[in-house]
Structure 1
Amino acid sequence: MSKPAFTFPGQGSQAVGMGRDLADNFVEAREVFAEVDDALGLKLSAIMFEGPEDTLRLTENAQPALMATSMAVIRVLEARGVTVAGAASYVAGHSLGEYSALCAAGTFSLSDTARLLQIRGRAMQQAVPVGQGAMAALLGLEMDDVKAIAAEAAQGEVCDVANDNSPGQVVVSGNLAAIERAIELAKGKGAKRALALPVSAPFHCALMAPAAEAMREALAAVEMKAPVVPVVSNVLARPISDPGEIRNRLVEQVTGMVRWTESVSWLAKDAGVSELYELGTGKVLTGLAKRIDPGLTAQAVGTAEDIEALIAARG
């Protein structure tokens, strides 16, 4: 039996109050939040615990905040004998969650990960003027249909497939007008729903090229170690461990598609993983896992209660 895989949530899972329960109950969590605050020169933990929501939702805040909560869970588990190397066979994260996964597996230090995500969030936000880009979820269509819709909707603009989240849940990203055309085309082709997403920038599409360059520069400047377990890369949907390749794939990931369906399918079918633990805020990936492969058991671990239950279950 393969050991479980640890997964780490992406943007959209943030919520005011995130991490507070962990900080109230565990000194290790408080230490994580303090280190992230110091690294950013910003009282991010106060924004996480108390809001305001619109400040937390800013990409440059949401990304390190989600990572910090995931790492707080990891540090609490480690202090109780549940380590990534000992308990997990692989790590994987959705978009920014890939950085959380790499931090958990020891590739980046916590402070470097926080700074990288602040840079990433800022660069993604600045790549496209507000109001010029958009993303939309197209639900109930096959991937080939979505690719065809994106190609037809582009009309000389950008309309890329951004996230393959689960069968029947695919997200497109690009210029506002192109995304609006994609929504109408999807409705005409039998989508169950096609709706614009409340995001501040069109992530994971060609418009993010300036942010990819910013990350190339930022990643070149930080120390990277081989992860203690392989990371399943978003853009490859297979595991990698070489720091040089990880760096290159993280640059590609800014403009590339998050191949989450394929990543989870690889874990279940090729690696024989039967259990996923989603570490951090929310239960988005836990919900997607069941839709991708009904044979998987998935569990979210984000609160003191969840952590105690996991430790008790491991005996």
Structure 2
Amino acid sequence: MSRAFVFPGQGAQTVGMGRDLAEAYPAARAVFDEVDEALGEKLSTLIWEGAQDDLTLTENAQPALMATSLAALRALEAEGVGLAAAAMVAGHSLGEYSALAAAGALSVADTARLLRIRGRAMQEAVPVGEGAMAALLGLDLAAAQAVAEEAAEGDVLQAANDNDPGQVVVSGARAAVERAVEVAKAHGAKRAMLLPVSAPFHCALMEPAARAMEAALADVTIVAPGVPLVANVRAEAVSDPDTIRALLVEQVTGAVRWRESVEYMGGAGVTEIWEIGAGKALSGMVRRIDRSIATRAVGTPADVTAAAESLQG
């Protein structure tokens, strides 16, 4: 049995996430305290008591989701399940930062600060209303790329997230994305819909954010992770710190190759994937990609104890 730990991306955030972990496990509470201190504000209060709209702001959602994932991991560690239980780690978009913190490549404080910078830079890269993203359901990557090529009409439009065999997200200029929704239906998509996001992530319009992250990452210490990271933009395992730094920059404008990442993990012998943190979206994607890989979501104290018990005996 080979296991991977994976970490969710934006969209999984909910008010109250991680609070029960913090109440049940001092080590989980310490993660939220460390993130609050790193950011110089009580992000934990926003996570647990704030408004959903405020939590969903990119600059808040990104460090909040990381904090919740790391709190869940610390809870697992308190039950005797550490990084040694995983053969590799991966994360969806911002979840890649959570994965690196989990694997010890980045400190939690540096990760929180990087994600605050990343969230703001991605938000500011494109004026509100000028970019958009849309999910194309029932089309594979090749079909989605054909839709993007047809709908672009000179505007930026790219396949941004290859999530699973029947879900690809396109990103770019709003007019082009709106055209893609109509073109996709003509190409046989089951559904095509605009996503409630504040910016067009993972496309060329994010270039200013990529430069901001290049500058921010240049000042941060990255060490080799305790287990390899399956990187979004390569869909293969990496461990070299300089490579990781470069790929985190490339990731801002590059596609999240999640389907291929899961296929890579399966090919490397992974038979079980644990989704650490908020929500269960990645578990659903994994099941649609490779039904032979078992999944487990670990986001509550009950999940933590069940996960730990599954490894005993």
Shorter-chain TM band? over 0.9
1:154 aligned residue (152, 155, 176): 152
Q: How does 1:220-259 map to 2 (within 5 A)?
A: 220-259=218-257
1:55 match: 54
User: CA RMSD of the aligned region, Å?
Assistant: 0.7
Residues 204-236 of structure 1, C-alpha deviation per residue, up to 9 Å, x if partnerless?
000000000000000110011100000000000
Q: Is the 8 A contact 2:122 2:209 kept in 1?
A: yes
One-letter code aligned to 1:296: I
Distance (Å, rounded) in 2 between the aligned partners of 1:142 and 1:48: 35
2:270 aligned residue (269, 273, 292): 273
1:126 aligned residue (103, 115, 124): 124
> Aligned with 1:194: secondary structure?
strand
1:219 match: 217
- The alpha-carbon deviation at position 42 of structure 1 amounts to 1.4
Q: Once structures 1 and 2 are overlaid, which stretch shifts more, 211-220 or 140-149?
A: 140-149
1:298 aligned residue (277, 295, 299): 295
2:285 aligned residue (281, 284, 288): 288
Residues 237-296 of structure 1, C-alpha deviation per residue, up to 9 Å, x if partnerless?
00000000000000000000000000001111x211110000000000011110000111
One-letter code aligned to 1:245: T
1:164 match: 162
Distance (Å, rounded) in 1 between the aligned partners of 2:245 and 2:292: 32
Distance (Å, rounded) in 1 between the aligned partners of 2:126 and 2:65: 23
- The alpha-carbon deviation at position 163 of structure 1 amounts to 0.1
> Aligned with 1:4: secondary structure?
strand
1:83 match: 82
Distance (Å, rounded) in 1 between the aligned partners of 2:213 and 2:307: 35
Residues 74-94 of structure 1, C-alpha deviation per residue, up to 9 Å, x if partnerless?
11222332111x100000000
- The alpha-carbon deviation at position 9 of structure 1 amounts to 0.2
- The alpha-carbon deviation at position 73 of structure 1 amounts to 1.0
- The alpha-carbon deviation at position 156 of structure 1 amounts to 1.1
Q: Is the 8 A contact 2:27 2:74 kept in 1?
A: yes
1:12 match: 11
1:313 match: 310
1:173 match: 171
> Aligned with 2:270: secondary structure?
coil
Calculate the TM-score normalised by the size of structure 2: 0.99
2:22 match: 23
Distance (Å, rounded) in 2 between the aligned partners of 1:101 and 1:46: 24
Q: Once structures 1 and 2 are overlaid, which stretch shifts more, 235-244 or 152-161?
A: 152-161
Distance (Å, rounded) in 2 between the aligned partners of 1:308 and 1:82: 10
- The alpha-carbon deviation at position 152 of structure 1 amounts to 1.2
One-letter code aligned to 1:79: A
Calculate the TM-score normalised by the size of structure 1: 0.98
Distance (Å, rounded) in 2 between the aligned partners of 1:182 and 1:47: 36
- The alpha-carbon deviation at position 141 of structure 1 amounts to 1.1
> Aligned with 1:291: secondary structure?
helix
Q: How does 1:60-75 map to 2 (within 5 A)?
A: 60-75=59-74
One-letter code aligned to 2:158: D
- The alpha-carbon deviation at position 189 of structure 1 amounts to 1.1
Note the residue ranges of structure 1 that are not aligned, 5 or more in a row: none
Distance (Å, rounded) in 2 between the aligned partners of 1:115 and 1:142: 35
Q: Once structures 1 and 2 are overlaid, which stretch shifts more, 240-249 or 47-56?
A: 47-56
Distance (Å, rounded) in 1 between the aligned partners of 2:102 and 2:236: 18
Distance (Å, rounded) in 2 between the aligned partners of 1:111 and 1:158: 35
Moved over 6 A (4+): none
- The alpha-carbon deviation at position 155 of structure 1 amounts to 1.1
One-letter code aligned to 2:21: L
Q: Is the 8 A contact 2:79 2:305 kept in 1?
A: no
- Count matched residues: 312
- The alpha-carbon deviation at position 153 of structure 1 amounts to 1.0
